[in-house]
Amino acid sequence: QVQLVQSGAEVKKPGASVKVSCKASGYTFTGYYMHWVRQAPGQGLEWMGRINPNSGGTNYAQKFQGRVTMTRDTSISTAYMELSRLRSDDTAVYYCARDLNTVTYDYWGQGTLVTVSS
């Protein structure tokens, strides 16, 4: 069965970076784009970007350009999302999601809470 398992919660100081992992299993990792979506406390979903696990090609939301980097390691079927220069308003749950087709997120990770606090 398809599973996306994310790394555990993180607490970071403002200005630091965080790297969240998403390990995929149960399907061919390189066959589907992986997207990253975040949700601030009590707020809605926000699309951050996506990576093509086959080529490594990425697309990022304009809001995060220059601060976000998405990578993958095909040998261990894992996608990564690194966000730098963290601010308090980056406090959120970060999700990875497999894209079956265009904007069709059929499987989601369990979410990773990133708390940014001094």
Question: Contacts with another protein: how many residues (CB under 8 A)?
Answer: 24
Site string for another protein, 81-110 (x = CB under 8 A): --------------x-x--xxxxxxx-xxx
C-alpha to C-alpha distance for 15 and 25, rounded to whole angstroms? 33
Residue 35 interacting with another protein (CB under 8 A)? yes
Task: State how far the alpha carbon of 117 is from the alpha carbons of 7, 37, 85, in Å.
Answer: 19, 21, 13
Residue 73 interacting with another protein (CB under 8 A)? no
Q: Where on the chain is the footprint of another protein (CB under 8 A)?
A: 35, 37, 44-47, 50, 59, 61-63, 95, 97, 100-106, 108-111
